[in-house]
Each structure stands twice: as C-alpha cells, then as structure tokens.
Amino acid sequence: MILPLTLLAFAAASFPQDSGPKELDEIVVTASGGFEETLAEVPWSTSLIGHEILAGGARSMSEALSGLPSVMVQKTSYGQSSPYIRGFTGYHNVLLVDGIRVNHTAMRAGPNQYWSTIDSMSLDRLELVRGPSSVLYGSDAVGGTVNALTAAPTRSNEGRMVFRLSSAEDSAVTRLESNFGNGTDWGLKVGTSIKGFGDLRGGEDVGVQTATGYDERDWDFRYEKDLANGSVLTLGHQKVFMDDLPRTHKTLDGVEWEGSGIGSELWRRLDQTRTLSYVRNEWEGRGGWMDTGSVTLSMQRHEQERDRMKTSDGVASGGDISGFDLDDWGLTARFQNGMWAYGAEAHRETVDSFKDKTDADGNVTSSSVGSPIADGAKVVTSAAYVQYEWDVVLGFQVIPGLRFTKVSAEADTVNVGGTLTAMPEHHWDTLVGSLRGLWGRGAGTSWYAGLSQGFRTPSLYDLTSTDETSVIEEPQFFLDPEHFVQVEVGTRHRSGNVDWDFGVYQTWITDMVVRSPTEATGSAVGKDNGNGWVHGAEASVVWRPDHAWSHSLTASVMDGEVDQHQVTDATTFDTAAIVSLPMDRLMPLQARIGSRYDTGGILWLEGWAWHMASANALSLRDERDSRIPDTDGDGFADGTSSFSVIGVTAGWDWSEETRFTLSLENMSDTDYRVHGSGVNGAGTNLVGTLEVRF
C-alpha cells in the first residue's frame, strides 16, 4: 500500500528510466484529447507517474496513485482499490486505457474493483488530470481523468522480465515480455503477468488478515505498423482475470479494528474479467482540417461473477451467485488542426445479468434474471466536441470548448421487489462547456485558471440495481442527470533547482445521485438527486540543492457537503428532512515528505514519510459503514484514525539492462487503515523488484 514518497512527488520531475535517474519527458496527451503537449502548456492540474513506480513500486495501478495531491486510494479489499479524486470516486472519475474508456454503465457509484483490472506491469505511464474533463471525455469526467498508457513495441527483437516479491503481501509477481520487429516500420510486443497474493499482514496488533489473498493472470499484445500514407496502424488486445477475489470485511474473516465491524457471511468472492481489443489509425502532418488525428474502433467486455455464502451460527445456510456480462462497442475519432481540436465518439453497451440461489452445499436451487442490474439492457451514447486554443497575446492563451451528448437507455427485465418489469426508455441531451486560460505558456512559471462544466447521465446501475454489494437498494427509474461546475486556479514552476505546483478549486454540485439510508437502522438505501459543493487546495514542491540531493513535499486538503435524506424512527425516506452533510468518504488532510540521494544514475537512496489526518466528517451512509470504526460502540461509525508511516527505498542500476529496487515500507509496523477501506494497510513490508532487459 505504501509507496516511495519521492517517486510519487517527482511525478513531474525525475524518474529512473532505462539508464538510471534522469528527467521524465513531461509530455501529456490526456489533457489535450490525445495529442501531445508539454506539461507547461497544459492549463490543468496534472500528475504523471512513470515506469519505475508501475513496474516495481506499486502493487496495482490504483495504488500507484496513492499520495498524489487530492487523491485518496480506498481499498474495499486487498484487490479492490479505487481512487477518490477531488472528493469523487467510482463512476464520477473516468478511467482510460490507451485513450479508450474503461467506465461502463454497470460501474458502481462508490469505490469499485474496475480500476484494478488494469495490469500496471504492462503500462509505460499514467496521466492524471484533476477536475471536470467532460468536453473531451464526456459523462463521468467529474473528479478527474486517468489515462493508463501501455508501452509501445520497440520494433526490435528484445525481451524484458520483472520479478517482484513482497513480505507483508506474501506475494510474487512475474512479468514476461517479448518484442519483435524489423527495426524500421513494424513492431510487436507480447506480454503476460502472473500474480499471486497471499493473505495480507497488517501492523503489529492486527497481524495476518485471513482470507484476503487472490490470484491474477493477465496477457496482452500490441502491434504497430507504419503504413505507406504516413499513418500508423495499431492493433491491441488485453485480458485481465482476477480469480476468487475476496471481499473479506463482509465475512466472518473480517478484521475488527478500533470498533470496525465484522461481516456475517461465510465467504464472498468475485471473479472479474476485462477483455479489450482495439484497432487504431493515427497520423500527423497531413495538412488541412485533419492535419493530426486518430480513429479507434474498440470492443471491451466486462464479465463479473460474485459468489457468496450466508451463515447461521457460523454454519453455511445458503447463498447466491450473481453477475453480468457487458459488451461495449466504441468508435472514437479525434482531430487537430493548428489551434482547433475536435472529434466524435459513440458507444453501444449491452448487458446480460443473472442470479442463481444456492443451498448450503453450493448447489444451484433456482435461477432468475434482472439482478444485480437489468437483464437485456442497452445504452447508446453519441457525442461531438470542439475546442479552440486562442493565443490572445504573447504568453496568454484562452481555451474554450463545447461538447454535445445524446444518451438513450432501455432495459427489458428489471427486478423490482421480486417482480420483473421493463424500464421506460430514457433519452437525454446535454451540452457542456469549458473555458480555461493559461498565462506564461512555455515559460518557467505559468498560471492557469478554468471554469469547467461536468455532467453524468444516470447509468443502468443507478436506474436498475438491486444490490450495491454493501447495502440493499431498489431500482429507481426517474433520476435526473447530474451537473457540476468547477472553478480552479493554479500555478506551476519548472526552472532552476525548484519545481512547484499549487492549486485551489471549488465545485458546485447539482442533482447528484445520492444514496441515503431508508430506515433509522440497517443497510437499505434509497436514491435521490441532491445538491452540494466541494472545495480544496493542493500543493507539490521539489527542491534540488545540488546534483545529488532532492527533497519533496506534497499536501492536500478538502471539504464538501451534499444533500441527504435524514430518516428517523418517525419518518420514511420520502418524508425525511433534507440535510446538507459531508460527502461520502471525505478525504482528510494528507501530506508526504521525502529526501533522495542519487549518485548519478547507478545508486540512489531515499527516505519518506506519509501522514493522513483523522477522518471524522461522515455522511449518513458512512455512519452505517462497518468498515469505518465505531469507537463508542453505539452502532454508528465515528471516523478513521490518523496515521503516519515511514520507509526507505534503495535502487541499483547494475547495468543498462538490469535494475534492482529494495524498499522497506512501514518501518514502525504501524496499524492503520485508509478511510473507508475494508482491510488495513500492510505492516512492515520488504519489497524487492528485479527488472532485466535482454
């Protein structure tokens, strides 16, 4: 869980690359709709994470984001981690892989496992853009957008092996990768990752957290060919399979920590498969309105199966196996001509769902459809956008943009209180805009400001879900689209021996789908649209007093509220008072500091510390969440304790082809839990990574 501080804080500064530590090329494609720009030319709060962390420092892609300003990575289980970005998580953040949407209409509102279906070992870099990016990336791009970019083929015959071992995770991870090519106009990369995670050991008091381990098998290929017309053809395929992924906190194996609850189920396990195939044609320098462009056709399939067994006095009493298969066909076209950027995108998603009840021996006793979301459902999305970069005067740029989106949703079979019914067909049209400014473009110090709209149309999960995994809910066919407006101001500096990034933001929320308890006790929730706000500040500073030493600090703080239904014994959900209370899992103050000594590309050593303040600003749902400690024993959660952990990391580039990294994390063996997580973080953890290229 804990990552080397300085590596994270240097996300836009220094990362060891093929021949030792050197400056990371600060190229960003996400903030400009897929076209390369340097960080100094991007009017967004942005972080970059390079190969070193993804290949060896982080356990998963989501955890590679841990500790970045305004980011909190919650872990529902050992293999289910999801980032909160500027106060939002789940389907309020967009996840892309090679520019293709991973978000889908069955994605849950809260933290979910889908971010863990990206194989971090296959990636070259991560790009995080904070704040609404709806003009470029459409629905869901509210808290932030993360683009996971896979490594391109080298176009030569060579290989790569990565071995990662971790003590507290009881894990062994292997990545094998081969590149083939003729050295000029074509290349093929084929890779596989084999991951085994045993039971996670917490700090000195919690110890081994039973039944938390799982296995994962991934493979991928990417083929690139230079065509005669100057364009590049790319064929890509990825498959990630997570086997028997446990949600331990819902079972008898859950860990009681500072008053957190233990579940009553015998087991709850998830099989998760994500498969993506795509073909892309991209070019640059053709002239005309399509001077630079790319066209991508993709097909992505999500398969999910949850197996749970309930108990009576600790003995199996029967359970269920439920899940869905979701197919997403997508077509995306993006073009750029001078200062103009424009494009179009279309997706067609279809869903089949199932639920089988089982007896105490696991045998299927009955079958049904329409659960956990609608069966025979379809969502069609089409959109077009345009953005213009206007150089008002030298060094001052204004960037307006617009996006128009049409969405339709229909479902044949929805389980409403045990009765199967069809959902009324929905149609939504949305126009959103963005206006951003950049001062000092290309200079050592720049300032940026933005006024951006975000939106999200209700998903099939909002409209038809019957089970939110942790709570019980009923379908709600008549929810309004969500709207957001964010104002932000920031500055960044890249010159001399000091780098900095500072920013502040305010987001106004209109008609966000909010889940509130329906009874004075219990876990059932109802859904309604609510208004609110969230604001915060974030900072990152790196100081290099000489060629060997560098020191870093990152910090962020936020606050926010949203309307919720406050049910009492005397009221129902519909008649309850509407109150403005903290958002779900509101992120507390977070800070990291670190110092790194580098001998010049062969050996380096760093020490780091990570602090997260106590989190006791809770929503009504948070108060019912068994994962959040109930310190006074009244049956309602009170908040998550603050914590501080320290560690040290050393790296040795044995040769240009061989790198070894050794990290000792949580040296004090502290027991801690990131707010809202279902498992505690790793105790003292020795992580060793060997990367060999041949």
Amino acid sitting at position 102: V
| pLDDT tens profile 384-431 | 999 999 999 888 999 999 999 999 999 999 988 888 999 999 999 999
Return the DSSP state at 370.
S
In sequence order, the 6+-apart residues with CB closer than 8 A to the CB of 574 are: none
Shortest CA distance to 624 belongs to which of 461, 469, 512, 471?
Answer: 471
Span 238-256, mean pLDDT?
Answer: 95
Span 610-636, mean pLDDT?
Answer: 95
Residue whose structure tokens are 């809260």: 110
Q: Quickly state the pLDDT bin for 9 (edges 50, 70, 90).
A: very low
- β-pairing, 524-543 vs 472-473, is parallel
Region label for 259, one of left (φ > 0), alpha (ψ between -120 and 50) or beta (otherwise)? left
Residue 521: predicted pLDDT = 84
Residue 41: predicted pLDDT = 83
654: helix, coil or strand? coil
SS3 helix, strand, coil % of the chain, rounded to 5?
A: 5, 60, 35
Residue 504: predicted pLDDT = 98
Shortest CA distance to 418 belongs to which of 340, 475, 470, 457?
Answer: 475
Residue whose structure tokens are 């790198």: 659
Domains along the sequence of the chain with CATH: 152-693 (2.40.170.20)
The chain-wide mean pLDDT, for the chain, equals 92
Whole-number percent of the chain with pLDDT over 90: 83
Span 572-578, mean pLDDT?
Answer: 93
Shortest CA distance to 674 belongs to which of 55, 84, 7?
Answer: 84
Residue 499: predicted pLDDT = 93
In sequence order, the 6+-apart residues with CB closer than 8 A to the CB of 579 are: 563, 564, 566
Q: Quickly state the pLDDT bin for 14 (edges 50, 70, 90).
A: very low
| pLDDT tens profile 469-486 | 556 788 999 999 999 999
In sequence order, the 6+-apart residues with CB closer than 8 A to the CB of 66 are: 1, 2, 3, 8, 58, 73
**What's the half-sphere exposure (Cβ side, CA atoms, 13 Å) at 255?**
27
Cβ pair 147, 30 in contact under 8 A: yes
Residue whose structure tokens are 């959103």: 432
Q: Is pLDDT above 90 for 31? A: no
Q: Is pLDDT above 50 for 22? A: no
Q: How far is CA 350 from each of CA 173, 346, 469, 636, rounded to the nearest angstrom?
A: 34, 14, 21, 39
Residue 57: predicted pLDDT = 73
Q: What are phi and psi of 545, to 5 degrees?
A: -70, -25
Residue 505 CA to residue 486 CA, distance in Å, equals 7
Residue whose structure tokens are 């870099």: 125
| pLDDT tens profile 267-314 | 999 999 999 999 999 999 999 999 999 999 999 999 999 999 999 988
Shortest CA distance to 40 belongs to which of 430, 464, 438, 345?
Answer: 438
Q: Is pLDDT above 50 for 1? A: no
Span 174-202, mean pLDDT?
Answer: 96
Structure tokens at 455: 């939106």
Span 215-239, mean pLDDT?
Answer: 97
Residue 180 CA to residue 160 CA, distance in Å, equals 12
Residue 114 CA to residue 97 CA, distance in Å, equals 12
Q: Quickly state the pLDDT bin for 380 (edges 50, 70, 90).
A: very high
Residue 373 CA to residue 304 CA, distance in Å, equals 12
Shortest CA distance to 81 belongs to which of 124, 42, 45, 111?
Answer: 111
Residue 268 CA to residue 58 CA, distance in Å, equals 26
Amino acid sitting at position 244: D
| pLDDT tens profile 625-635 | 999 999 999 98
| pLDDT tens profile 641-655 | 999 999 999 999 988
Q: What are phi and psi of 584, to 5 degrees?
A: -55, 135
Residue 12: predicted pLDDT = 31
| pLDDT tens profile 325-353 | 999 999 999 999 989 999 999 999 999 99
| pLDDT tens profile 104-149 | 999 988 888 899 999 999 999 999 999 999 999 999 999 999 999 9
Q: Which residues of 553-573 are buried (b: 16+ CB within 10 A; e: fewer)?
A: bbbbbbebbbbbbebeeeeeb
Return the DSSP state at 615.
B
Residue 135 CA to residue 401 CA, distance in Å, equals 6
Shortest CA distance to 331 belongs to which of 272, 380, 390, 377?
Answer: 380
Q: Is pLDDT above 50 for 17? A: no
Residue 495: predicted pLDDT = 82
| pLDDT tens profile 430-480 | 999 999 999 987 778 999 999 999 999 999 999 999 876 556 788 999 999
How many residues comprise the chain? 694
